[in-house]
Every structure is written in structure tokens, then in C-alpha cells.
Structure 1
């Protein structure tokens, strides 16, 4: 009975880790897309010559 519980617990942990990693990959892709869109839509700087940063830091 103990080995069966350990195998089921291991399967549950691996399934949870796999699901979390998949969610993190999608989150990383979304953040990358927003970051790249920031370069496209950033505002022009003073005089219109140089383009400023779209983020504050």
C-alpha cells in the first residue's frame, strides 16, 4: 500500500510541476510580447529626433 501511495504522490507532484512550468512558459511569452511591443509603441523624445524609453526606470 505504501509504494502505491508514493507512486501516486510522485505522479501528483510531477503533474503539478509540469502544469506550473507550462503556465510559466506562457507567462514568459506574454511578457516578452509586451516588452517587444513597447519598443514599437514608445513615444518620441524631445525634438522628435531621439525616441525615449517606454518604461520609467
Structure 2
């Protein structure tokens, strides 16, 4: 995950968390927890590499 902080006004900030895993989804427990603590989440899963044979 990648975190960026944006200053909205004096003393107030919002952290944007980029979630790149393919097993976390908008509205899941992790997303809900991050949002409940004032973070903004952006989901951009990376493609999983094909298993090696």
C-alpha cells in the first residue's frame, strides 16, 4: 500500500491509501476500517503473475 497525505485546511489532513492487492476489495473489512479512521482508499490491483511450471 502507498500512502499520500493531503492537507485540506489548517490542521485537517486526509490520507489516500493505494491498495494494490488482488484480494482486497472496495467495501471489505480492510476498506471499511481505513475509511472509518478517516482515510480515502483507492483500489488498483496488480495482475497476478501466472504460476510457474
TM-score bin (small chain): under 0.3
TM-score, scaled relative to structure 1: 0.20
How does the TM-score come out when normalised to structure 2? 0.20
The structure with the greater share of residues assigned to helix is 1
Higher RCO structure, 1 or 2 (CA under 8 Å, sep 6+): 2
Structure whose residues are more often strand by fraction? 2
Larger Rg: 1
